[in-house]
Amino acid sequence: MNVRPDFSKHANQAETAPAFLSVWDMHSYYGESYIVQGISFNVHEGEILALLGRNGAGKTTTLRSIARMDNPQVNHGEIWLDHQPLHRMASHQAASAGLGLVPEDRCIIPGLTVEENLQLAQIAPPVGWSIERLYQLFPRLGERRKQEGVTLSGGEQQMLSIARALARDIKVLLLDEPYEGLAPVIVDEIEKTLRHVKEQGMTTILVEQNAVRALQLADRAIILDTGSIVFDGSAAEVLDNAELRAEYLAI
Ligand SMILES: Nc1ncnc2c1ncn2[C@@H]1O[C@H](COP(=O)(O)OP(=O)(O)OP(=O)(O)O)[C@@H](O)[C@H]1O
Ligand SMILES: [Mg+2]
């Protein structure tokens, strides 16, 4: 049986619904370097959680740990997604279980068109996001369906990277700095799309250096500082708390 009680007692807030994704006492290392130092948090279904913190706080490491990438090594802790024990899985199994990691470098496959990039990702038969539906979500991708993916602009590549994750019919979207290097008008476009995807029920963890933009979109926020959680609460609370923002986010 894969059903583990949720770890709601570890969250700071009163629980209103069972957690969809639970991370409990996770510790991660790169070799001897101890990075994620025992973090626990919950994400509810349909929620956008902003994962914030200064450079080097451990945000990417946290996402990679949840996605079960080979590096870092997670040597303690549990990760549950919709009653499935991710901590017992390899990265490809975690991906099949419904995790969609969109890494910072976007990883568009060279030599393939936009459409081929999406086709390669898509499960058959498509359940949620058909390629036509993804083109409705990202009209720019539809217009460029025959163009080689790696020749897209930075913003379009980010859209393709998100669309590719959705094509796999995932349960949780893990976004590592999706706004990085993009013009504000493109950030607006991606933000609008993420709102729409949320309205369709998607659960999202959003890592962003652009903390204000992330907090405007997110329901909740976690702030990491040297691999530990120093805040877990509503996004509005962070926006309202100048001291917290100055201390941990430098904004
Ligand atoms: N492959 C690696 N090998 C060794 N140390 C690493 C590796 N990747 C990251 N680190 C270290 O782990 C710590 C956390 O890095 P991480 O990339 O998770 O931070 P981050 O919060 O995502 O920062 P940023 O905002 O700059 O992206 C840093 O001190 C970093 O130098
Ligand atoms: Mg990072």
DSSP string, 78-111: EEEETTEEGGGS-HHHHHHTTEEEE-TT--PPTT
pLDDT tens track for 58-112: 999 999 999 999 999 999 999 999 999 999 999 999 999 999 999 999 889 999 9
* Cis before 125? omega within 30: yes
* pLDDT of 51 strictly over 80: yes
Cα(133) to centroid of ligand 2, in Å?
30
Q: Which has more pLDDT, 128 or 48?
A: 48
Judge whether 109 lies within some domain. no
**pLDDT confidence band for 11 (50 / 70 / 90):** very low
Average pLDDT over residues 193-211: 97
Judge whether 234 lies within some domain. yes
Query: What's the chain's average pLDDT?
Result: 93
Q: Work out the percent of the chain whose per-residue pLDDT is above 90.
A: 88
Judge whether 174 lies within some domain. no
Nearest ligand to the CA of 35 is 1
* Cis before 72? omega within 30: yes
State residue 3's pLDDT score: 55
Work out how many domains the chain is built from and give that number.
Answer: 1
Average pLDDT over residues 175-195: 96
Q: Are 77 and 27 in contact (CB under 8 A)?
A: yes
Q: Which helix (H) or strand (E) holds 195?
A: helix 184-199
State residue 17's pLDDT score: 57
76: containing domain: 1-98+202-245
Average pLDDT over residues 102-127: 91
Strand 33-43 and strand 228-234: pairing? unpaired
Judge whether 107 lies within some domain. no
* Ligand 1 atom with least separation from CA of 58: 18
Cα(55) to centroid of ligand 1, in Å?
8
Judge whether 218 lies within some domain. yes
The CATH code of the domain that includes 17 is 3.40.50.300
* Ligand 1 atom with least separation from CA of 63: 18
Judge whether 110 lies within some domain. no
Q: How far apart are the first and last CA of the chain?
A: 46
* Ligand 1 atom with least separation from CA of 209: 25
* Strands lying side by side in the sheet with 99-102: 99-102, 172-176, 203-207, 48-52, 220-225, 228-234
Average pLDDT over residues 154-171: 96
Find the range with the poorest average confidence among 1-5, 66-70, 220-224: 1-5
State residue 13's pLDDT score: 44
Q: Work out the percent of the chain whose per-residue pLDDT is above 70.
A: 93
Judge whether 226 lies within some domain. yes
Judge whether 94 lies within some domain. yes
Cα(18) to centroid of ligand 1, in Å?
31
pTM: 0.93
What gap in Å lies between CA 194 and CA 6, rounded to an integer?
27
